Structure 1
């Protein structure tokens, strides 16, 4: 009985020590997944605009972690951020939530999309003209 109690105590102590790291790892994974998914959707919209010679766009809701992807006038995807991931301070800190790509793949939208989960943040940089999207390494 003493051995069983000791085993349970050591196991409980191990979980107590590991639990914060497990939570932090899950938060990091959700943040990275959401960031990479959003960048991927922008890159696909840009490539489709170039291939089909028509405007494509990713329309980000300014207050909620939801976005819509349009190819021309067709809605092709409604995306949602992973649970717990949101914009820093609760809103999109850009002039517009609409990232449009013309037939050349160029964009007239620039800025930073700052995603956050807990104290962790991830920036997605959008560049004017080229439409380049760059995911900053959170290091």
Structure 2
């Protein structure tokens, strides 16, 4: 199974998602999107696959969102994608792509829906929170 994670190693949620994927015995392709930003077309594909708006992909905290005036509703999706291309930190993370779907995995346990396993053993996040995978959503 091909799994790709658009990852920021400085982000705890992103690190937890990567660890959860590996906890499932899978090794994803890791794209450090701050070093290797996805193309505008790839961003379009990811947004479409997730069924979200470009605006929902934007991250405000710790980014130049406010300085760029991105809270103004007048920006088109095309313009917002250009901003993400110029400032990759604006892309919310982590985004995970698998044959089972594509998802912005916040909180980190959202990735469980994309993994091809019935039920993972318990997993402890960096902050000590325990994730118990019921497997119920994979009917």
Name the TM tier (shorter chain).
Answer: under 0.3
Q: TM-score if structure 1 supplies the norm length?
A: 0.26
Q: Which has the higher strand share?
A: 1
Q: TM-score if structure 2 supplies the norm length?
A: 0.26
Higher relative contact order (CA 8 A, sep 6+): 2
Q: Which has the higher helix share?
A: 1
